[in-house]
Amino acid sequence: MKYIKVIFIIIVIILASTFMYIGWLSMDGDGDGLINGTEQGGWDIQIYYANGSVEKRHVNSDPNSRDTDGDGLSDSEEFAYIGSLDPSSRDTDRDGISDYDEIKTYDTLPNYQDSEPLYKDGLMDGIEINGWNITIKGETRHVKSDPFTYNSDGDELSDYEEWNGSNGFRTDPESKDTDGDGISDGSDINPIWNVKIKVELLNFTLLSSPGNTSRPYFHIRVGSNSTETEKLPSLSAGEEVELNESVYVLDIRDYEGNFPPKIIVYAFDNNTQETRSTIFGTITVDVSLDINGSRSSWTGRYTDYPNEQIFKTQGTDGILFFKVSTIDE
């Protein structure tokens, strides 16, 4: 009789456990740790978009599926996440990165499109992580930025501005100087090319000569760089010469404060010399030719970047036409 009671008690315990398990299954049909009532009734979440707007959304999950959206996170994990996620969407915040990857791989926020903690750059995490293509000096380069940093490279442009091309050019958010010309992207007039100034001498007319004939040449200065042109053939007063092949390229520090660049053209006569006294003694130099009224130099600015601009200067000794444009290298 004693053994019968023991067997009876064991059977009761087994039956009770079975009924409890069946009851638990009826409460959590898929065994994901979230009861059916919560899965069916759902819960409220908030999604924070990169443009600053906030969306409130009511979501629910399939009580017969452990991972309703198949993103690798169980429905209970999505429910338990701070702020909660949408178990029916692989990418709750629609930023281009799945909820699983945001939590498990990148440590970004799956309900915030833009995960910067303090100063948000307005660029979605998916764009920053996956990157984008830019063209530098004619070549395509794939670049990325840090989803936790407002300005990944510490230049004057946010990552969003570099992606969006807010200054007219899409640049590398991980390089202060995308084109490597020594000027940071935020200050560079063209951050994907090194801009150089091209001066083309077009035509010169000698009006008068210090001697019987003159052999003109010019000294061209753009910013802090300068060059001396080839000497023209000897000319008599009244003679004109075409100079279409006289092209000179000068580099310039192409930051915005240096544009429009100042250009100075000096004119000299290689056929006539004069002596000058200096602290080092007497020297002989070529005489100047007046090409700007009674002055031997012309000063102006190239204001039509990036278009070409034609200039004319006339003085008592001659008339010079020249063209200024830019080249990208």
Residue 19 reports pLDDT greater than 50: no
pLDDT the model gives residue 24: 42
**Domain residue spans of the chain:** 1-88, 114-193, 195-328
Gap between the Cα atoms of 89 and 101, Å rounded: 13
pLDDT the model gives residue 12: 41
Answer whether 264's CB lies under 8 Å from 299's CB: yes
Gap between the Cα atoms of 108 and 100, Å rounded: 10
pLDDT the model gives residue 4: 59
Average pLDDT over the chain reads 90
pLDDT the model gives residue 15: 42
Question: Domain 195-328 belongs to what topology?
Answer: Immunoglobulin-like (2.60.40)
Residue 298 reports pLDDT greater than 80: yes
| HEC assignment per residue over the chain | CHHHHHHHHHHHHHHHHHHHHHHHHHHCCCCCCCCHHHHHHCEEEEEECCCCCEEEEEECCCCCCCCCCCCCCCHHHHHHCCCCCCCCCCCCCCCCCCHHHHHHHHCCCCCECCCCCCCCCCCCHHHHHHCEEEEECCEEEEECCCCCCCCCCCCCCCHHHHHHCCCCCCCCCCCCCCCCCCCCCCCECCCCCCEEEEEEEEEEEECCCCCCCECEEEEEEECCEEEECCCCCCECCCCEEEEEEEEEEEECCCEHHHCCCEEEEEEEEEEEEEEEEECCEEEEEEEECCCEECECEEEEECCCCCCCEEEEEEECCEEEEEEEEEEEC
Segment 227-286, tens digit of pLDDT: 999 999 999 999 999 998 789 999 988 888 888 999 999 999 999 988 888 888 888 889
pLDDT the model gives residue 318: 96
- From the centroid of its chain, how far is CA 181? 14
Full-model pTM: 0.78
Backbone angles phi, psi at 204, to 5 degrees: -135, 135
Gap between the Cα atoms of 100 and 86, Å rounded: 12
Segment 146-199, tens digit of pLDDT: 999 999 999 999 999 999 998 889 999 999 999 999 999 999 999 999 999 999
